A and B are shown apart, each in its own frame.
Chain A
C-alpha cells in the first residue's frame, strides 16, 4: 500500500524553544558537536490506490501544517 510521509517543521525565522531545550540537554550530556536542534512533527499516511499528489499536498499544507509558521515536506514510499 502506498505510504506518504509528511514532515512538518517550524520555519527558520520562528524560534523553537522545544528544540532549544533539547539542544541544552545535548550540551549537558557532552554532545558539544550538535549546534542546532529543530523539533517537528512526522505524519505517516497510508493511502488506498494511486496517491493523488496534489490532494496530499493540499492535506499537508492546509491541515497537517500551518503555513504561517511551518514548512512541510512530502515523501512517497511503499509500506
Chain B
C-alpha cells in the first residue's frame, strides 16, 4: 500500500510519519506541497509542524493549497486521510473535519507523554485498537484546543465521531477532552497527539502509535 506523506514548508514530522508508515509495512511516498497532484497513492498522511509558519491561523494557508484540495477531493471519494497535529488543523481548516483548533487555554506550549482513550476502533486508522483501550503517545502543541459550538459538539458526540479522548489530564483545554475526530464515513481521522512518535521503544514512550498505521494497511487488505 502506497501512503503519501505531504511535506509543507514548515513541516517537522514528515520524516517520522514516513518512518512509521514503513515500520507498519507500508510504502511511504513523499509528496511536496507544490506538487500538482497526488499520483498513485492509496492514502495520505498530513504531518505535524508549522506549515507556512502557521501564519493567519494554524493550517489555514496549507488547507488552501491545490495539493490539499486534491486530498480533500480524494478523501470525499473514500481515500483514507490521517491528519496529525498541524495536519489535523489543516483538515479542520479545509472543512474535511468539523471544529477548529485554537490557542491552548493556558497559553503555553505543552509537550508530554499523553494518555488517550480510543473511543472508536472501527475507523480506517484505528481498527488495530480495541474500543476503550488506553494508549500513550506524545502530545506537543501550542494551538491544540479543540473547540466548536455546543450544538455541533453534541451532534459530533451523538454520531460517535470522537475517535480519541485525553485521559489523565487534558493538555490544552480541548472541549470535552476531545483529542481526535473522524469524518462521517470513518475514513478521515485527525488528532493532535503524535502516534508517529510512538512506534519504536528506542525513541518513543511506547509503541502504541504504530496501530494507526497498521490499521490503514489492514483495511486495504480486507477491502
Contacts and interface: CB of A to CB of B under 8 A. Distances in A.
Contact of B150 (A13, A17, A69): A13
Nearest to A64: B56
Interface in A9-34: 10-11, 13-15, 17-18, 21
B194 to A, nearest CB: 23
Most buried by B among A13, A17, A66: A66
B57 A66 contact: yes
Contact of A66 (B93, B104, B106, B150): B93
Contacts of B102: 10, 14, 69
B30 interface: no
Contact of A68 (B100, B104, B107): B100
B202 interface: no
Given A17-B106, A63-B64, A68 B56 contact: no
B107 A17 contact: yes
Contacts of A15: 105, 147, 173
Interface string A35-79: 000000000000000000000000000011010110000000000
Given A14-B102, A66-B60, A21 B107 contact: yes
Most buried by B among A10, A15, A21: A15
Contacts of B60: 63, 66
Contacts of B221: none
Interface residues of A, number: 13
B99 A17 contact: no
Interface string B73-104: 00000000000000000001100001110111
A18 B99 contact: no
B148 A68 contact: yes
Given A68-B92, A68-B148, A63 B100 contact: no
B223 interface: no
Interface residues on B, range: 20 to 34
B40 interface: no
B64 to A, nearest CB: 7
A69 B100 contact: yes
Nearest to A15: B105
Interface string B106-138: 110000000000000000000000000000000
Nearest to B104: A17
> What are the 7 closest A-B residue pairs judged by CB atoms, nearest first?
A69-B100, A68-B100, A17-B105, A17-B107, A14-B147, A66-B100, A17-B103
30 contacts: A11-B149, A14-B102, A14-B147, A15-B105, A15-B173, A17-B103, A17-B104, A17-B105, A17-B106, A17-B107, A17-B173, A18-B103, A18-B107, A21-B107, A63-B56, A63-B60, A63-B64, A66-B57, A66-B60, A66-B93, A66-B100, A68-B92, A68-B98, A68-B99, A68-B100, A68-B148, A69-B100, A69-B102, A69-B147, A69-B148
